[in-house]
């Protein structure tokens, strides 16, 4: 199941959790067409990746402070965190295969 990150759980569920395994955060908004295309890929990846990584989404409209903190200027933006730090980033719609390979690099 895809996790939903918010300003209240981001520190615990992303920054601290990324010490155990990589965390992929999909920065999105409901009104964004490309984000709607990315959503099923994220959901599928989340269900297939198992315990190799955490996968979730952060709504930029309801959590603007986090989006600003990480300089998210366009959506979808996908950021991978590891050991409390950003280790990779991609903007635009990404395939499940590419995301899987990038997560493997940071396990």
Helix, strand, or coil (residue 85)? strand
Q: Which is catalytic among the residues 17, 35, 42, 55?
A: 35
DSSP letters along 12-25, please? IIIIIGGGTS-EEE
**Does the annotation mark 66 as catalytic?**
no
**Does the annotation mark 48 as catalytic?**
no
Q: Which is catalytic among the residues 3, 15, 21, 32?
A: 32
Helix (H) or strand (E) holding 27: strand 23-28
List the catalytic residues.
32, 35
């Amino acid at each position: 199941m895809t996790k939903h990150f918010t300003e209240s759980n981001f520190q615990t569920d992303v920054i601290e959790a990324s010490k155990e395994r990589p965390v992929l955060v999909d920065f999105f908004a409901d009104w964004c067409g490309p984000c709607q295309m990315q959503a099923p890929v994220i959901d599928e990846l989340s269900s297939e990746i198992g315990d190799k990584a955490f996968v979730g989404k952060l709504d930029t409209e309801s959590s603007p402070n986090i989006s600003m903190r990480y300089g998210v200027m366009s959506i979808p933006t996908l950021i991978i965190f590891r050991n409390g730090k950003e280790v990779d980033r991609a903007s635009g719609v990404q395939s499940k295969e590419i995301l899987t390979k990038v997560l493997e690099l940071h396990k």
